[in-house]
């Protein structure tokens, strides 16, 4: 199973990739635009984990674009953000995200949430 991690902070991407990489095939990109380009190049992940605050294309725009594209609209999305406001959570869920976690996060909790989303498919 393939997971796409979208975050402009490489240290965080690497941590997530290292932890989830024990169970999943993980690809990391630095922002929403790179993620869209990766998807349009014919890659199909089973799950996307994205930050919200990134240059070029933020997480809100990425969720919107993924959910509006028929081919990708069923891919579950987990938001991993340092923004802990209820309005951000609601906006992400309204746009189509399946889950929302706040940084700093427990990698074990992330793995459980990923497993649960992927088992449901």
Which of left, alpha, beta for 39 (phi over 0: left; psi -120 to 50: alpha)? alpha
CATH of domain 2-120: 3.40.50.2300
Q: Specify the DSSP element, H or E, that contains 10.
A: helix 10-20
Residue 96 in contact with residue 77, Cβ under 8 Å?
Answer: yes
pTM, two decimal places: 0.96
Alpha-carbon dihedral sign for residues 60, 61, 67, 71: negative
**pLDDT > 90? residue 103:** yes
At 71 the pLDDT is: 94
At 90 the pLDDT is: 97
**pLDDT > 70? residue 75:** yes
Using a pLDDT cut of 70, give the percent of the chain over it. Answer: 98
Which of left, alpha, beta for 96 (phi over 0: left; psi -120 to 50: alpha)? left
């Amino acid at each position: 199973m393939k997971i796409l991690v979208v975050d402009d902070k490489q240290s965080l991407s690497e941590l997530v990739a290292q932890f989830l990489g024990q169970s999943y095939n993980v690809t990391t990109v630095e922002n929403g635009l790179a993620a869209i380009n990766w998807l349009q190049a014919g890659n199909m992940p089973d799950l996307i984990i994205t930050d919200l605050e990134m240059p070029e294309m933020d997480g809100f725009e990425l969720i919107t674009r993924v959910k509006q594209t028929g081919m990708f609209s069923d891919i579950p999305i987990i938001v991993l953000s340092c923004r802990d406001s209820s309005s951000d959570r609601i906006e992400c869920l309204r746009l189509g995200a399946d889950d929302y976690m706040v940084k700093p996060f427990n990698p074990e909790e992330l793995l459980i949430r990923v497993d649960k989303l992927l088992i449901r498919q």
